[in-house]
Chains A and B, each alone.
Chain A
């Protein structure tokens, strides 16, 4: 069953003539995990923000984004707010900026619950603490009473995950969720993410520039370049038999572990000449 159906989506900003996203189409089945890879400026974050309805006012959006048969393009703020945090949620890159520094994290997670489920403060606390436990935080009671700055980067990112998952959304959008974390913490957070996504059967749009990370979380991948989708397929196909020259370059540069130390590394330009 198709959960998210994106058709001919274009996004441009202000009076800029070059759109950030140019007529892309893709769909996502319920429970499917789709990785979006590409470099900065390729349009991956803009696509995610369009699905979340979080684009700034000066953005012009054309085409269609349909989520559970509800059209998101042109939906008013009231309608969008009803979906956001409930049917779709988002895990941002920087857990420090995504959390309110003046509010205990338990209350921040409870807020999401209260907004959509109208839960009573006391009852919410119980749900929040159990959710914090589910994302792998030891001592969730203490974490719930902490301010963001009292937590480590990995703990903060788990809090963000708890916020994104507490209403059992159909779709979770992750934008570079582990880029700011240490490798060991990243490995644990990814493992947990995989576990909670599996448990909740939520679909996931996973944005990353790190191909290895995408290959660990996703079933399918699409590659963006200059606002367009240049290739999509299963993780196995795309990494073993990349077709588009740009994808071939990306895959080659990502395989740092397969190159003799000190040897010249292949670059994307070896495969794909960039637009001037």
Chain B
């Protein structure tokens, strides 16, 4: 029996906002097996981004425990999280803010390879060769490396962000609203790229999105979140065709569809 990639128990995150306490995540349990593609949907404030930030080790839970491939990561100091940083990479919503405008694309993409923490985990390799490889994988011209992010279109910038995430050869890719800042016309290209990459490299994928159609396209498992809890979970097809919760039905009904006549 192989260990799941992620296992979480009773995951809770509370914030203080002024005097009031906000429960962003409320005792969430989760198991994600290798090679699965999990979609997390919900409205703003449902806790979906908080959940993936905890899984990626970018934030610490108030209560609860997380295991990554059998190793508990809750409570581990940053200097011992190198294995997680190398194996779990994130792509964020808006490539205008997730890419440093003053760095050249080549430096942005190879930055994870230079990280002191991550470096220990990786076999020493030629950064330039790796850079050329990932640029080709995301379909960007080789000379992109010497240019700055502002010289690229939105779709291309999201490819740069994906290339950066791929550079350390992660096992898990977490994408937080990867296409919601993009035009419909480039959305399909980025979705195709993600589908191909996940398939060819056997990545485990977690996609956070408010767009249920995007998640349906990318993911085989689905978790619906509301008020910091997972209210419904299961195989994507099953949840779409037979939603058990009223809330899931409402979400599905709200998807804008082309209405003719």
Cross-interface CB contact of B192 among A215, A216, A255, A265, cutoff 8 Å:
A265
Give min CB distance, B36 to chain A, whole Å: 13
- Whether a CB of chain A sits under 8 angstroms from the CB of B74 is no
For the complex formed, measure the closest distance between the CB of B159 and the CB atoms of chain A, giving whole angstroms.
Answer: 14
B43 touches A255 (CB 8 A): no
Could you tell me the distance between the alpha carbons of A215 and B257 in the complex, rounded to whole angstroms? Answer: 8
Q: Is the CB of A186 within 8 A of B195?
A: no
Q: How far is the CB of A93 from chain B (nearest CB, A)?
A: 13
Task: Tell me if A266 is interfacial: C-beta within 8 Å of chain B.
Answer: yes
Q: Are B189 and A186 in contact (CB under 8 A)?
A: no
A250 at the A/B interface (Cβ < 8 Å)? yes
A216 to chain B: closest residue by CB: B259
Interface check B21, CB cutoff 8 A: no
Give min CB distance, B162 to chain A, whole Å: 16
A212 touches B257 (CB 8 A): yes
A253 with B187: CB separation less than 8 A: yes
* A250→B189 CA distance, assembly (Å): 12
| A266 in contact with B188 given A184-B43, A236-B261, A256-B214 (CB within 8 Å) | yes
Taking the closest CB of chain B, its distance from the CB of A267, in whole angstroms, is 5
Q: Is the beta-carbon distance between A40 and B43 smaller than 8 angstroms?
A: no
Selected from B192, B211, B237, B258, the residue in CB contact (under 8 A) with A239 is: B258
A182 at the interface (CB under 8 A from B): yes
CA distance A162 to B214 in the complex (A): 32
Our count of residue pairs bridging A and B at CB distance below 8 angstroms stands at 97
Q: Is the CB–CB distance between B213 and A257 below 8 Å?
A: yes
A261 at the B interface (CB under 8 A): yes
Instruction: Report yes or no: A250 in contact with B185, Cβ–Cβ below 8 A.
Output: yes
Interface residues of A in 224-276 (CB under 8 A from B): 235-236, 239-240, 249-250, 253-257, 259, 261-262, 264-269
Minimum CB–CB distance for A1 against chain B, Å: 25
B192 and A187 form a contact (CB under 8 A): no
Residue among A184, A185, A249 with max Cβ neighbours from chain B (10 Å): A184
Contacts A183-B254, A236-B260, A267-B192; A211 near B184 (Cβ below 8 A)? yes
B188 touches A209 (CB 8 A): no
Contact residues in A for B237 (Cβ distance below 8 Å): 261
Which chain A residues border B251 with CB–CB below 8 Å? 183-184
Given A187-B256, A216-B256, A182 and B43 contact (CB-CB distance below 8 Å): yes
Binary per-residue interface labels of chain B (95-125) against chain A in the complex, 1 for a CB within 8 Å, 0 otherwise: 0000000000000000000000000000000
* Residue from A40, A209, A257 in contact with B255 in the complex, judged by beta carbons closer than 8 Å: A257
Contact with A along B208-244 (1 / 0, CB 8 A): 0011111011111000000000000000110000000
Q: Does B1 contact A (CB under 8 A)?
A: no
Interchain CA distance A162-B154 in the complex, whole Å: 33
Query: Which chain A residues in 133-188 approach chain B with CB under 8 Å?
Result: 153, 182-187
Interchain CB contact under 8 A, A268 and B185: yes
Is A201 in the interface zone, CB < 8 Å from B?
Answer: no
Q: Would you call B216 and A186 a contact (CB within 8 A)?
A: no
Query: Least Cβ distance of A73 to chain B in Å?
Result: 29
Nearest chain B CB to A208 CB, angstrom units: 10
- Is A267 touching B189 in the complex (CB atoms < 8 A)? yes
The CB with the most chain B CB atoms within 10 A, among A183, A185, A190, is that of A183
Chain A residues near B250: list those with CB within 8 A: 184
Q: What CA separation (Å) do A153 and B44 show in the bound complex?
A: 10
B132 at the interface (CB under 8 A from A): no
A97 to chain B, nearest CB (A): 16
Is A212's CB under 8 angstroms from B260's CB? Answer: no
* Chain B residues with CB under 8 A of A266: 188
Question: In the bound complex, what is the Cα–Cα distance between A249 and B183 (angstroms)?
Answer: 13
Interface string of B168-199 (1 = CB under 8 A from A): 00000000000000011111110110010000
Q: How far is the CA of A210 from the CA of B261 in the complex (A)?
A: 17
A213 at the interface (CB under 8 A from B): yes
Is A71 located at the chain interface by the 8 A CB criterion? no
Residue A183 contacts which of B189, B191, B211, B261 (CB distance < 8 angstroms)?
A: B211
Is A213 a contact of B260 with CB atoms below 8 Å?
Answer: no
Q: Given A182-B43, A257-B213, A261-B217, A249–B185 Cβ distance below 8 Å?
A: yes
Besides A39-B186, A215-B259, A239-B260, 18 other A-B contacts (C-beta < 8 A): A39-B183, A39-B185, A183-B210, A184-B254, A185-B43, A211-B258, A212-B256, A215-B258, A215-B260, A250-B184, A250-B185, A256-B214, A261-B216, A261-B217, A261-B236, A264-B195, A265-B191, A267-B188
21 A/B residue pairs, CB under 8 Å, sorted by A: A39-B185, A40-B154, A182-B44, A184-B251, A209-B183, A211-B258, A212-B259, A215-B259, A250-B185, A253-B187, A254-B258, A256-B214, A257-B213, A257-B216, A261-B217, A261-B220, A261-B236, A262-B195, A264-B192, A267-B192, A268-B185
Closest 3 CB pairs of A and B: A212-B256, A187-B254, A265-B188
